[in-house]
Every structure is written in structure tokens, then in C-alpha cells.
A and B are shown apart, each in its own frame.
Chain A
Amino acid sequence: GNSVTQMEGPVTLSEEAFLTINCTYTATGYPSLFWYVQYPGEGLQLLLKATKADDKGSNKGFEATYRKETTSFHLEKGSVQVSDSAVYFCALRETGNQFYFGTGTSLTVIP
């Protein structure tokens, strides 16, 4: 079956630190992979996505590369800001439009 495993939080970083949130997946076919972000009091928003192996999704300084050989889609950012504090969800979609989500990783960035 399909599933997503992501790094447990919470994660606390100082401003300008490097961020990595690990995500691995299990899928029977060739899924599309996503990172969603949820700011306090708001709905999940698409941060970035990749639809095939070796694709790199990027947005707002965040990047993630679709690694089929390691079934991973780790989220990285070189220099985090306080405004990046949120919960981050890794997700996959295989057939139809059904999404499978990880458990979410809470990030707090302190000045």
C-alpha cells in the first residue's frame, strides 16, 4: 500500500539555520510527491511538488528532490526565517486524486 513517513518533531531552529525534514514513502507505482505547509489557524497550502524521479520542487527557498532509489523527498532550506514557523506535511498521490499524508513536522524558528 501507500504510506508516507516523515521525521517527527517538533524541530526548533535559530534564524538562518539550515533545515532538513526527512520524508520517505512507500508506493506501488509512480507517485507524485508533495510538501504542504500549515500556518497557525490556516489550511494546508501546497509548498512544492515533484511528479517524477529526479525532479526538484522548489518554492520560497525550500527545495526537495524526488529520489526514487531511496524513496525519499526530503525538504531543505538553507536559511530559515521566523516566518517559516509552521507544520510541514509530506504527501504522495498515486492514482485518482487521493493523497496520503505524513504525520506532520512542527517547525519553530527563534530569532
Chain B
Amino acid sequence: GAVVSQHPSRVICKSGTSVKIECRSLDFQATTMFWYRQFPKQSLMLMATSNEGSKATYEQGVEKDKFLINHASLTLSTLTVTSAHPEDSSFYICSVDGGTDTQYFGPGTRLTVL
């Protein structure tokens, strides 16, 4: 399967600042990527579907102005958490759409907002 990396793996920031998380598909051309959020002891919740060269599709309840997604190439999608607050602290996971019934997941990024 595809190898997917995320950077950084952990980030701590102050409230009010913005944080960018990168998701790279190292050996697979990713037309579509997905961004998930996971709270402790809860399931992965899909935040948005990121399509190369076009605007992301956000799930209901996800603020598109707060969670900016850019998918400028077939190997890179970025998630920027703008004006982060402590309630944005979470584990963010990206995945690459590998076709029907197939997704390749990154290792996740732990965001802590102080």
C-alpha cells in the first residue's frame, strides 16, 4: 500500500496562533485525501475530503474558515488550524484514497493548544 507521512507528529502552540499540518503521500498519487479528527476514547471523525486542485468538501459542523485545507499537488495536502483554541486540541489524521474500500492512513499529528 501507499506510504503516508504527516508532519509534525506533535505540536504545541499558544491560543490564538495558527498551526499547519502536512500530509504527504510518498509513493502514490493522491487525487483525494481525507482529514480526520480523533478525541481521546472516541472514534475517528471525518472532517473533510480534500480534492487535488479544487476546494475541499467539509462535513457538517466543521468550520471551513477555521480548518483550512489545501491540496495543491497529488502528493501533498495541508490542514491549517487557524486561531487555535484549547478545544481544538486533538489528534488529526489524514488518509489517502486508494480506490474502492481502500484508504492509506498517516500516523497522525497530536495538537495541543495551551
Contacts and interface: CB of A to CB of B under 8 A. Distances in A.
Interface of A: 4, 8, 32, 34, 36, 41-46, 49, 51, 89, 93, 97-104
A97 B46 CA distance: 11
B75 interface: no
Contacts, number: 48
30 contacts: A4-B43, A8-B41, A36-B105, A41-B107, A43-B95, A43-B105, A43-B106, A43-B107, A43-B108, A44-B95, A44-B105, A46-B1, A46-B102, A49-B101, A89-B43, A89-B44, A93-B101, A97-B97, A98-B34, A98-B49, A99-B44, A99-B46, A100-B43, A101-B36, A101-B43, A101-B44, A102-B43, A103-B42, A103-B43, A104-B41
Nearest to A106: B41
A32 B101 contact: yes
A99 B105 CA distance: 12
B54 interface: no
Interface of B: 1, 4, 32, 34, 36, 41-44, 46, 49, 93, 95, 97, 100-108
Nearest to B97: A97
Which applies to chain B's interface (DSSP): helix, strand, loop or mixed? strand
A76 B111 CA distance: 34
Closest CB pairs A-B (n = 8):
A43-B105, A44-B105, A101-B44, A101-B43, A43-B107, A103-B43, A43-B106, A32-B101
